[in-house]
Amino acid sequence: MKPDATATRGAGLGRLPTLEGANRIVIKVGSSLLVDFDTGRLNRPWLETLAGEIAALIRADKHVAIVSSGAIALGRKYLAIKKDTVRLDQQQAAAAAGQILLAHAYQDLLGSHDVRVAQILLTLGDTEDRRRYLNARSTLETLLDLSVVPIINENDSVATDEIRYGDNDRLAARVAVMCSADCLVLLSDVNGLYDSDPATNPDASLIPLVDEITPAVEALAGASRTSFGTGGMVTKLAAAKICMPAGCATVIANGHTPEPLAAIDNAAACTWFLPSTTPRAARKQWIAGTLEPRGTLIIDAGAAKSLIDGRSLLPVGVVGVEGEFERGDAVIVRNHEGQDLARGLAAYCSADIRLIMGHRTAETKEILGYRDRDEVIHRDNLVLIKV
C-alpha cells in the first residue's frame, strides 16, 4: 500500500507532511531559479539537479507535474527584448519564444533519465470554466497515469492582462487541485514564511507550519520578498489558500538549497501549509454540496447495486433522463422507485445520454458517431447520498 500523504516525520514538528508520503506532487519552479539573473540564460546545472530529483520521484512511483515559469525571461534574452519592458505584446512574443527553450530543456534533461514529458499551456479560462476544466483535468490524469511529467505554464502568448493569472503560484495551486494532488511544492528563492522581513531583521524566524491562514498570517506576507519573478509571498499564500481546503499540502521551499526536493524531507528550512481534508473528500464535497444539479438520471436496479458497490454508472443501466444538461454538469441519480441515490458529473450531455441509454458501452460509438468515455458517470465523479 502506498503511504498516506499525511504520513509525518518524527520528533518535534511531527505533524509535518513529507514528499515521501505524497503520491501526486505538483512542483512549481520559479523564474529566479531557472534563469541566471546576470546572463538571462537558462540555469542548466540547476535544472539538471532538479531533473535528477524528479526522476527519483518517478522511480518511486509518484505522479509529478511541473508548473514552470521562465518563458518570458528566457524569451526576452533570445529576442533581445529589454528586461524591464512592460509592453504586453513584447512580453507575449518573449513568452512564445521562451516557452520552446523551456520545454526543450525539460525534455532534454528529464529525457536523460528516461522520463517523458508533455507540455500543457493553460489560460485562466481553462481553470475557471467547468467543461474546459474537466477536459484539462482528464488530459492531466491520462499523462500522469502514463508516468509522463506534464510541463505546465500559463499560455502567456494569448492571455491578455485582464484574463491572466500573471503568476504561476496560483496557477500551480489550481493545477494541484485539478489533478487532486496531495502536495504542492513552491520552489523559489526564499526559505518560506518568516515572522518578519529576514532581509532587514536578523532575528526574523521562519514559521515551519501553518494550519490556518488567518489575517495575521496574511499580514506577514507583505514582509517577505523574492528578487525575480512576479510572485512573492502574497501569491504563495494565495496558492496555499486554494490548496488547503482541497486536501493538498503546500510547502514553500528554497530551490537554491542543494537537492532542494530531498532537502524538504531532510529538515531543510521551509514552510508547510497543512490541508484541512483529503483531496478525495474535498472533490466529493464539491460534487455533492457545491454544484447545482441540472438534471436527473433514472437507473435500473442492477445499476443501483453497482453504484452502491462503488462502481461507475454505465449507459446500459440508465432508463430515463430528465432535464437538459451539458457534459460536465452535476446531475442527480435516482432509482426507478424515485429515491435519490447519488450525485455525479455527467460525462455526456442529456441529449446524448437519451440516445445511448440502455445500450452496451461498445455500441455508443456507432450510435453517437464518436467514442468518448465508457461511463455515463465515472465513479471518481460520483457521490452516494447517504440514506
Q: Of 201 and 227, which CB lies nearer to ligand GLU in the complex structure?
A: 227
**Which of 43, 49, 69, 312 touches ligand GLU (CB under 6 A)?**
69
Nearest distance, CB of residue 127 and ligand GLU, angstroms: 14
Based on the shown chain and the rule CB under 6 A, indicate whether residue 150 belongs to the binding site for ligand GLU: no
Q: Of 120 and 291, which CB lies nearer to ligand GLU in the complex structure?
A: 120
Nearest distance, CB of residue 275 and ligand GLU, angstroms: 23
SS3 344: strand
Close Cβ partners of 287 (under 8 Å, ≥ 6 residues apart): 330, 343, 344, 345, 381, 382, 383
**Residues of span 296-355 touching ligand GLU by CB under 6 A:** none
Tell me the CA distances in angstroms from 328 to 33, 324, 345, 362, one per residue in order. 38, 12, 5, 21
Based on the shown chain and the rule CB under 6 A, indicate whether residue 71 belongs to the binding site for ligand GLU: yes
Radius of gyration in angstroms for the set of CA atoms belonging to the chain, rounded to a whole number: 23
**Which of 17, 21, 198, 231 touches ligand GLU (CB under 6 A)?**
231
Close Cβ partners of 2 (under 8 Å, ≥ 6 residues apart): 23, 61
**Residues of span 262-291 touching ligand GLU by CB under 6 A:** none
Based on the shown chain and the rule CB under 6 A, indicate whether residue 121 belongs to the binding site for ligand GLU: no
Range in contact with ligand GLU (rule: CB under 6 A) among 121-129, 227-235, 280-288, 335-343: 227-235
Based on the shown chain and the rule CB under 6 A, indicate whether residue 168 belongs to the binding site for ligand GLU: yes
Cα 74–chain centre separation: 24
> Cα angle vertex 182, ends 23, 265, to 5°?
70
Q: Please count the residues of this chain forming the interface with ligand GLU, following the rule CB under 6 A.
A: 15
Number of C-beta neighbours around residue 216 at 10 A: 8
SS3 129: coil
Based on the shown chain and the rule CB under 6 A, indicate whether residue 31 belongs to the binding site for ligand GLU: yes
Question: Residue 151's beta-bridge partner residues?
Answer: 66, 119
Q: Interface with ligand GLU by CB under 6 A: which residues? A: 31, 69-73, 95, 153-154, 156, 167-168, 229-231
